[in-house]
């Protein structure tokens, strides 16, 4: 199931308010910020994961995705810029 990260009503970033242990049914309520990684959309999360799994090789990622090297590097640069913006919020 896809984790919603943006409020469908006002489009602000959602926060975690409840967590539950599936084993003992303990529930924790609070107001926790989403980790930075989860503030990215699914495609961006997959991109970072693919980068990690290809040992940090953009060339290898490009080959697997059927894209050219500069296209992949541009995606990476755009993502770095987005993460830097999220860090500064």
Partner 1 sequence: MNWKLIFNPFEQISERKLMQTGVLFALLAGIYAYYFGVVYDGVLDIHLFENASSLVLLFSNVIIVVCMSLVLYIFGKYINTKTRFIDVLTAVLWFRIPFYVSATLTTLPVFAEIEHQLKNSKNIQNIQFDTFTIVLLLFVTFVFLLALVYAFVLLINGFKTATNIKKAKHFVWFTVLILLLEILTKFIINTMV
Residues that bind partner 1 (CB under 8 A): 62, 66-71, 73-74, 77-78
Residues 6+ apart with CB under 8 A from 42: 2
- Provide the minimum distance between the beta carbon of 59 and partner 1 in the complex, in angstroms, as a whole number: 9
DSSP string, 10-51: T-PBP-EEEEE-TTT--EEEEEEPPPGGGGS-HHHHHHHHHH
Q: Whose Cβ is closer to partner 1: residue 46's or residue 77's?
A: 77
- As measured in angstroms, the least distance from the Cβ of 65 to partner 1 is 9
Least Å from the CB of residue 77 to partner 1: 6
Q: Which is nearer to partner 1, 46 or 81 (CB)?
A: 81
3-state secondary structure of 4: coil
């Amino acid at each position: 199931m896809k984790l919603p990260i943006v409020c469908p009503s006002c489009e602000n970033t959602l926060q975690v308010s409840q967590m539950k242990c599936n084993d003992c049914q303990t529930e924790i309520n609070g107001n926790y910020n989403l980790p930075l990684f989860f503030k990215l959309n699914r495609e961006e999360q997959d991109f970072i994961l693919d980068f990690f799994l290809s040992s940090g090789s953009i060339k290898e990622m490009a080959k697997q995705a059927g894209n050219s090297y500069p296209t992949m590097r541009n995606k990476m640069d755009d993502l770095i810029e987005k993460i830097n913006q999220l860090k500064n919020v």
